[in-house]
Amino acid sequence: MAVKPKKPTLIEEVRRKQVIETAIQAIASRGFAHTTLADIAKMAGVSTGVITYHFKNKDDLLEQCIRTLFEAPNNFVTERVDMQRTYVEKLRVYIESNVEFMLKNRNHSIAMVQSFGFLNAEEEKFRITSRQHTKIRNYLIRIVDGGKKHKEFRDVPSTTIAQLILASLEGIMIQWALSEKDVDLPLYAEQLVDMITRQVRIAS
C-alpha cells in the first residue's frame, strides 16, 4: 500500500512561504539565472540545508516562486473584485487593485519582469506561466460577459477586452519595474479605467 506523503506542519508551511518570499527578493535584485540557493539562504539567514529540506532543488523553488508571483496578486485582486456588486465596479476595481498590489509589492513586479526572458528556455516553467495567464484572462472574460448579460456593457468582444486590459497592466508593470520615476501608476490606473469603461459601458 502506498504511503501518503507527510502533511507539512504549520511551522513548516510558514518557513516555506518565508523562503519563497526571500527568493523573490533575491530574484528581483539578481535575476532568475544568477540567483543561487546560497544567495537565498544568506538573505533568509538560514543554511542551504533548510532550503533543500523544503524544496527538491533550485528549479523546484523557482517554480514555486513563479506560482507565487502570479497567485499573490491574483488573490489580492479577486478578493476585492468579488466584493463589488456591479460589473462596472468589478472592472474598475480589477484595474485599480492590480496597480495597488504593484505599489505595495515592487519586488514582485521586478521579479515577474525578470522571469519573462528566463521562461523562454524553460518549458515546464513556461507551461506554468501559460496556465496562470489563461486563468487570469478567463476571470476577466467572465466579468465582461457578466456585464453584457446584465446590460451594463455593450456587445463588445470579451476575450479581446480581457487581453487589452492584461496587456495594458503587464506593459506598465514592465515600464515601472525598469524606471520607477518615469511612471505615475495611480494616474495610469485612472486613465486606463476611464478608457476601458468608455469602451465597454452602455451610454446612459
Domain 59-200 carries which CATH code?
1.10.357.10
Binning the chain into helix, strand and coil, the percentages to the nearest 5 are 80, 0, 20
Which residues make beta-bridge pairs with 201? Answer: 153
Give the model confidence (pLDDT) of 23-40 as tens digits. 999 988 888 778 889 999
More confident residue, 7 or 34: 34
Q: What is the DSSP letter of 19?
A: H
pLDDT band (50, 70, 90) for residue 121: low
pTM of this prediction?
0.86
Contact by Cβ (8 Å): 105, 173: no
Give the model confidence (pLDDT) of 70-104 as tens digits. 899 999 999 999 999 999 999 999 999 999 999 99
Question: In this structure, what C-alpha cell is assigned to residue 88?
Answer: 462596472
Q: What is the DSSP letter of 8?
A: P
pLDDT value for 120: 53
Question: In this structure, what C-alpha cell is assigned to residue 28?
Answer: 528581483
What gap in Å lies between CA 38 and CA 36, rounded to an integer? Answer: 5
Residue 17 has pLDDT above 50, yes or no: yes
